[in-house]
Amino acid sequence: MQIICVQIICYLLILIVYMLGKKKGAIALCITILFLCYVQAIDPFFKSSFEGKITLEHAKIISVQNTEKSIRYEVVFQHKTILKQQIYVSTPPDDKALEVGDGLRGRCVLKEIQAPVNLGLFDYKLYTKSQGIRFQCYMDKIEKIDLPGYQVFQLKIRRALSIYFTLFTSEVEAYLQAFILGDTSFFGENRQIFIELGLAHILAISGAHLEAIQLFFLWTAKKIRMTKEIAIFLYLGFIIIYSGVLKRSISFERALIMRVSMQVLEDIQGARVEPEQKYTLLFLVCSYLIIRNPFVIYNIAFQYSVLCSVFLTLYANKGYEIEGRVHKYIWYAKCNICCILITLPLVIAIQQQFYLFTLISTLIFRAFLGIVAIFSFLTALIPFFEAILVQILSILNWMLIFSQKLNYNISIPLYFQSQQLVLTCCCIVNAHNLLSSRRAIKSLFAVFTLFILICMVQFNLQLNSIHFLSLPHGEATVIKIDGIIYMIDTGGGMRDLDNIAIAEKYLKPFMLKNGMGKINHLILTHDDIDHVGAIFALLTIVTVDKIYLNESSNTYYEQLKREHPEVEVEIVTDPKKLPHLVIFSVLDTSTNNNDTSLLVYGYFGRMYWLFLGDLEKEGEKALIRQYPKLRVDVIKVGHHGSKTSTSRELLAAYKPEYGIINVQTKNIHNHPSKEVVDRLDAYNIKYWVTAVDGGQSYFFIGPFQFFLH
């Protein structure tokens, strides 16, 4: 509920700023307070429903996966459900002849997604939320049922349109699927670019479609001398049918109800709807949607759109008063920037970063995609327009690629809620100044002041950190001290695809999210695949200054020198002192490759840290013999917690206070072993296991330090 609370704070602050600037809005403020109370009242519903059993009216299968033990069906609720909710069916129904589009009914347990969280890395729980998935349902006692006739009719129309769109080129098909049916899954790489530029909401079916369709009906009515009332009646009828066919988003449904209600209200009053009336109407519509389906408050797109609507409706009449097309365009440009400002706290709360180019790209692509949407509709009706649409899309794709090259993201880790609150206040005050001020220079100065503040937060709050990453294969540790980035091992799997996935989906996103542009020092402890497997995939997408290997890694040394001559590679024979740590080994040669692991020792955050690689008993004895008085507060437990490592002799000699067991999530060796866990417990060592507890992070700056799990 943290993001929900941030959104409610935004509501209150928007209204307070509006009241101070306009000397009115008490009714809107009271309604917002009631909305706050309402959200808090329904919070227990979610907590009680996680483990509660519910009956599905009907559900639609979207995929089927055969496994050795059973058939797993992945379905989505079809009964007035806004969010995608995955259901994993462990036991298939008696009738296994199920196809996509069939209905299911059964008993299920509703649970919140509890996947391990990789801090600063790939957060599966956060990813599912961004995809509109908040809960998982585990079903049993399942039976097949027939869907109602209207749903079958909708599916047939959608399927017929989808088949029709395949007659066009793949690029045109993707845009037709998105702008007409609301399905963005055909975009491929472009969809990811849209997301990176902060423009993913533009791809969804939104209120812009309603406005374009309404203008089309009114224009047609004027040309054929049809009365406005008949045109509006036909428009509403078309919208109802259209919304039933496409994959409607909650934002589209809210915009649909709002537009119809405002049209009726304008006809009754015979005048333009006032901002306070719009806000009250918005509150009523949102309340209706939440009462009908409380899960909607977890929909990120719904939060964004409502937050923007709350702000813009209060200032809508000001846009009507502006004369001249140029001044109106400037006004709408200001509104777009304000939408970014208002939603910025939510974006940062979720993604922990913000793309500077989003400010410019929103102004460019909103107008350009409006043209694309129009020609998508025309092409669907008249295939003759396909050639024109192809030319427009080629320009759009060039703009996307060019924008991605210009893109620069600011990593903004908000470790404390007070930072987020300050950022929210600054965003809202600047947005208000931007719309209220008539002088563009003054307005832009306020906006740039905000982003200077963001940059100062980012670059002045240089928290040093140590991150033990939770990877699907192998282990990796990242240390950031005084702007210098160290990485110990890269993780890795047996397949090239595993290594590419680790580099592209885990290591690089982690670095971008934490503002790490490159790796200054990469330490590969030894040449086991689970420690070095992803090195070559990583070097293709991340800049590395220098790599350190042990003496047993000659094969990797030659390959690195041959394939990446731009990277300096060094084999460590004697203790190597770097600015903040020391790299050394205790056995140059051994029958056990793990005992030749490079060890890393350093003083971070007023504690001494020892990273043991895969060191086992023979290496541990050599370590104690060579460094008997080594002070150790935290150890990275050797060999993923294997019983052949972390001996009683090692723990008795160094007496560490904390331990980190870095174990891959796809763990077939049942690490950590019971023997190691018992030893750690016997010496009262507090420890964390990444495969169970998720990635572990340790932050420190000056006298302050804390673990974050």
- The average pLDDT across 375-382 equals 78
CATH number where 138 lies: 2.40.50
- The average pLDDT across 380-398 equals 81
Give the end of a domain, one of 87, 122, 147: 147
> By mean pLDDT, which of 47-56, 121-130, 595-604, 636-645 is the weakest?
47-56
pLDDT surpasses 50 at 81? no
Position with higher pLDDT, 455 vs 546: 546
Give the end of a domain, one of 129, 147, 165: 147
What local confidence, expressed as pLDDT, does residue 692 receive? 75
Residue 472 covered by a domain: yes
Give dist(CA 374, CA 213) in Å, integer: 9
Residue 320 covered by a domain: no
> By mean pLDDT, which of 75-89, 105-119, 456-470 is the weakest?
75-89
For residue 119, the 8-state DSSP code is T
What local confidence, expressed as pLDDT, does residue 676 receive? 86
What is the percent of the chain with per-residue pLDDT over 90, rounded to a whole number? 2
Give the end of a domain, one of 112, 147, 182: 147
What local confidence, expressed as pLDDT, does residue 572 receive? 87
- Confidence at 48, pLDDT banded by 50, 70, 90: very low
> Across all residues in the chain, what is the average pLDDT?
70
What local confidence, expressed as pLDDT, does residue 362 receive? 64
- Confidence at 574, pLDDT banded by 50, 70, 90: confident
How many residues are recorded in the chain?
Answer: 709
What local confidence, expressed as pLDDT, does residue 221 receive? 74
> By mean pLDDT, which of 206-220, 526-540, 541-555 is the weakest?
206-220
pLDDT surpasses 70 at 409? no
Give dist(CA 189, CA 186) in Å, integer: 9
Residue 628 covered by a domain: yes
- The average pLDDT across 482-496 equals 84
- The average pLDDT across 36-47 equals 48
The residues that bridge with 135 in the sheet, in sequence order, are 112
Q: Which long-range contacts (CB under 8 A, 24 or more apart) does 654-658 make?
A: 654/610, 654/630, 655/683, 656/610, 656/632, 656/685, 657/607, 657/633, 657/685, 657/686, 658/607, 658/633, 658/634, 658/685, 658/686, 658/687, 658/707
What are 656-703's pLDDT values in tens digits? 888 888 887 666 666 788 888 888 888 888 888 887 777 777 877 655
**Starting at the edge strand that comes first in sequence, how are the strands of the sheet with 599-604 ordered?**
576-577, 581-584, 599-604, 607-611, 634-636, 658-661, 686-689
**Structure tokens that stand for 487 in this block:** 């990485």
pLDDT surpasses 80 at 611? yes
The count of structural domains within the chain is 2
Residue 632 covered by a domain: yes
Closest CA to 81 of 37, 134, 125: 134
**Structure tokens that stand for 191 in this block:** 């969809």
pLDDT surpasses 50 at 377? yes
> By mean pLDDT, which of 218-222, 427-431, 658-662, 692-696 is the weakest?
427-431
> By mean pLDDT, which of 375-389, 407-421, 565-579 is the weakest?
407-421
Residue 498 covered by a domain: yes
> By mean pLDDT, which of 41-55, 358-372, 516-530 is the weakest?
41-55
CATH number where 670 lies: 3.60.15.10
What are 267-325's pLDDT values in tens digits? 667 677 776 677 777 777 777 777 666 666 666 667 777 777 777 776 666 666 667 76
User: Quick count: other Cβ atoms within 10 Å of Cβ 413?
Assistant: 19
> By mean pLDDT, which of 242-251, 505-514, 564-573 is the weakest?
242-251
Helix H or strand E segment including 660 = strand 658-661
What are 128-147's pLDDT values in tens digits? 555 555 566 666 666 667 76
What are 101-115's pLDDT values in tens digits? 566 666 666 666 655
What local confidence, expressed as pLDDT, does residue 459 receive? 45
Residue 506 covered by a domain: yes
Residue 273 covered by a domain: no
What local confidence, expressed as pLDDT, does residue 488 receive? 92
Residue 356 covered by a domain: no
What local confidence, expressed as pLDDT, does residue 147 receive? 67
Q: Which domain holds residue 503?
A: 464-708
Calculate ∠ Cα 56-59-62, nearest 5°: 150
